[in-house]
A = this chain, B = another copy of it.
Amino acid sequence: MQSQDNPPGDATHLATSVEDFSLDTFLPYRLALLSSLVSRGIQNIYAAEFDISISEWRLIAILGSDGPMAANDIRQRAAMDKVQVSRAAAKLLEAGHIRKQVDPGDRRRATLFLSDSGEKIFNQIVPIALEREAFLSSSLSEKEKSNLIQLLEKLTKIAKEMTITTY
């Protein structure tokens, strides 16, 4: 039984009743599907060309665009959990793409920053990332793009409220 304003096959309306339910219009599923497709594509590139993972790339991206900061700041900035950050940092340190300088005032903290090779990777990856992003969103108009980011932002805000996280 379909309601009047949710005609069958119209994937642009969210379902409101059990009878209407379909994964196709179920927002969490659509998001998960798209995100996994996109991430996978990107991951392959980063892994093949630079031998780094997505979370390592995130650290590089943050340190590259925002400048040096402590692991904990990265955690907040990128909504990663501390284990993720710690692991990514450990790998990047070992690979020599970042360095750490222990804060003399508080020896628990250490400021992380890109090494020369880290800078280099950042400068190389950004254009590739932007190019892929451009291609991905090539079917959208400028207006649609900004619209999308705005919508995602709204949803993210609510999703954060709904989840009890340590982020």
Interface, chain A (partner B; CB < 8 A): 11-18, 21-23, 25-42, 54, 58, 61-62, 64-66, 77-79, 123, 126-127, 129-130, 132-140, 144-160, 162-163, 165
Contact = CB atoms under 8 A, between A and B. Distances in A.
Given A61-B21, A61-B23, A133-B14, A149 B34 contact: no
A58 B41 contact: no
A162 B36 CA distance: 12
A81 B146 CA distance: 32
Nearest to A152: B30
Chain A contact residues: over half helix, strand or loop, or mixed? helix
Given A139-B158, A162-B135, A58 B29 contact: yes
Copies in the complex: 2
Contact of A144 (B22, B132, B151): B151
Contacts of A33: 79, 156
Contacts of A157: 139
Contacts of A140: 151, 154-155
A65 B25 CA distance: 12
A27 B126 contact: no
14 contacts: A11-B153, A27-B38, A27-B133, A28-B35, A34-B156, A35-B35, A38-B159, A40-B163, A132-B162, A135-B162, A144-B151, A148-B148, A148-B151, A151-B151
B139 A12 contact: no
